[in-house]
Structure 1
Amino acid sequence: MRDFTHDHSALALNTATLGHNMPGAGAGWSAEQTIDACAERGIGGIVFWRPELQGRAAAIGQHARAAGVSVVGLCRSPFLVGPLTPQGRQAVVDDFRRSIDETADLGGKILTIVVGGVEPGTKGIRESLGIVTDRLSAVLDYAAERGVKLALEPLHPMYGGDRSCLPT
């Protein structure tokens, strides 16, 4: 097992561990302060959550690169299916593309996808996963063009109703 006691360069901080740094939430740090804190401690990477970017993905990515901290990725795309998704397929696909753009603007390589819960009016997971497949296929080429890998994050089945119909 690798000892990280004195070398944190292979570690990446997920900003969720700080309580999602947004106005009125979390540690109250700006993205730049979080990056600087990582750099000061020798932490080599960082993963942001979309709401923390506040439309400043490119500037935040530039600050990270200048500080020597790699933006590993962005968490997360919009839900692709379920009761918490934007209305309509095109609205979901458009927001999905924006999340890909934000990942690329940050200089991140990976966009985490929590797919969303069971689609209202369907008969469950199988049909909902078909919708997920359709919406993923709508952006695959675009993500490849932007140099962004898409990472599906399955969640525990207890989240199936509203957050993830992808349990494995």
Structure 2
Amino acid sequence: MRRLSLNQRTTASWSVPEAVDGCVRAGVEAIGLWREPVAEHGLRRTAKLVRDAGLRVSSLCRGGFLTAPGALGDNRRAIDEAAALGTDCLVMVVGGLPPGSKDLAGARTAVADAIAELAPCAGERGVRLALEPMHPVYCADRGVLSTLEQALDLAERFPVSQVGVVVDTFHLWWDPQVWQQIARAGARIASYQVSDWITPLPADVLLGRGMMGDGHIDFAAFTAAVNAAGYTGDIEVEIFNADVWNTPPDQVLTTVKDRYRRLIHTPRESNAQTP
């Protein structure tokens, strides 16, 4: 369980104190926090609560939406929040097309320009901007970076201490180049997030992340690949799913631990070979 982290959205009904307490009871050593519930509880109170509980903050979600008005100011605040919480990983959902726009190339240029503005600020605060490539189904409204290759092409313009990438199984499992790109990422991997791709997808595809083992993803292969690339950080379970959210959170966490043991923390983890 040393590397297991509970992303707060997996147990969405829990407040920050409830999620921290749930992790402690379950023996989970790390938590991925979201800005909105942190703001509700209070940034300084949250930082103290997590610190006093002995937990690591594996990431803060989320910065990004860089194609929207006012994005730079909001992301500078997000960087400060990540630093205050003691995490070096700010997950960046970079944003989709501006309303009414069909200029995909222009949106990607706007994202790159915004990262260039924010990266030095993040580095000064000891925070990395973790670019999250998202499944192409989210390209229009959430993330114009659709592959790990695209995310790395952008990240590599900046020092590794300033900009990294997220390896998220849900978003990347389909990509025939994913193993080569994970190997290429190496020290750029700032976060490894897991959830399953289930079928049929719900009407709201945002809620299509399944519990590991309920879908189609080979988690042992992903874990082997990120380990072989040199990643030794937390493995964060992030699930958006109405059925999971409607299940008692302690029960969800028990299932998360069981699936982590059986599917993700495998013998291949200690002797990883890229698939």
Give yes or no for TM over 0.5.
yes
Instruction: Spell out the pairing of 1:27-42 with structure 2 (5 A cutoff).
Output: 29-42=14-27
| CA distance in 2: counterparts of 1:30 and 1:102, whole angstroms | 18
State whether structure 2 residue 76 is matched by structure 1 residue 68: no
Tell me the secondary structure at the aligned position of residue 32 of structure 1: helix
Q: Which residue of 1 aligns with 2:253?
A: none
| CA distance in 2: counterparts of 1:41 and 1:120, whole angstroms | 43
The residue type paired with residue 152 of structure 1 is L
| CA distance in 2: counterparts of 1:49 and 1:126, whole angstroms | 29
Shift of 1:158: 1.2
> Does structure 2 conserve the Cα–Cα contact (< 8 Å) formed by 1:57 and 1:103?
no
State whether structure 2 residue 100 is matched by structure 1 residue 98: no
Which segment is superposed worse, 117-126 or 137-146?
A: 117-126
| CA distance in 1: counterparts of 2:100 and 2:10, whole angstroms | 35
| CA distance in 2: counterparts of 1:47 and 1:115, whole angstroms | 18
State whether structure 2 residue 3 is matched by structure 1 residue 17: no
TM-score (norm 1): 0.81
TM-score (norm 2): 0.51
> Does structure 1 conserve the Cα–Cα contact (< 8 Å) formed by 2:11 and 2:19?
no
Shift of 1:78: 3.8
Tell me the secondary structure at the aligned position of residue 97 of structure 2: coil
Instruction: Spell out the pairing of 1:81-92 with structure 2 (5 A cutoff).
Output: 81=67, 85=68, 87=69, 91-92=70-71
| CA distance in 2: counterparts of 1:158 and 1:123, whole angstroms | 15
The percent of aligned pairs where both chains have the same amino acid is 39
Q: Which has the higher helix share?
A: 2
Q: Which runs of 5+ in 1 are unaligned?
A: 1-7, 20-25
Which segment is superposed worse, 123-132 or 135-144?
A: 123-132
Q: Which runs of 5+ in 2 are unaligned?
A: 148-275
Shift of 1:152: 0.6
Q: Which residue of 2 aligns with 1:141?
A: 120
Shift of 1:149: 0.8
Q: Which residue of 2 aligns with 1:4?
A: none
